Amino acid sequence: MSFVLDASVTLAWHFEDEASAEVRSVAHRAFADGVAVPQHWLLEVLSGLLRGERRNRASSAGTDEFVASLQDLSTEIDDLDQDHVISVLLPLARDQRLSLYDATYLELASRRRLPLATLDSSLVRAARAVGVELILGN
């Protein structure tokens, strides 16, 4: 796996007004090399896609097509046990002022020593604070 992928970048691949050359480059790298994601990543992506549909940013057919394309993405899904969530993620989220969901991306990148691809400004700030390499957000 070449990097940790968060939902903000994944969603930017789908929504034209968020896609930049840099975001498209990350998509190409992700599909070529594979990514590591926390267990909640797909739920977070699907939730964002549904919000996009409800705000008329995308059609259900476009969403379905995008979801089908994600099945070609090689993802290594990281699974954390309850003790790790309580003993590591909760303190990290507190220290870095992140949601637990965002802290999972940061912790995964740190633990696996992988760069992180995110467009989330709070996650960018936290990654810099703990020394996690960023692919986007520099």
Q: Based on C-alpha coordinates, what's the Rg of the chain?
A: 15
Alpha carbon distance 106, 110 (integer Å): 6
Q: What is the pTM of this model?
A: 0.90
CATH topology of domain 3-130: Rossmann fold (3.40.50)
pLDDT of residue 16: 79
pLDDT > 70 in the chain, percent: 98
Beta-bridge partner residues of 35: 3, 75
What's the number of CA atoms in the CB half-sphere (13 Å) around residue 137?
22
Going 101 to 105 to 79 to 33, the CA torsion angle's sign is positive
Q: What are the tens digits of pLDDT across the range 7-66?
A: 999 999 998 777 788 989 999 999 999 999 999 999 999 999 999 999 999 888 989 999
Task: Answer yes or no: are the C-beta atoms of 100 and 90 closer than 8 Å.
Answer: yes
Q: Residues 117, 31, 111, CA angle at the centre, nearest 5°?
A: 40
Q: Per-residue confidence at 119, pLDDT binned at 50, 70, 90?
A: very high
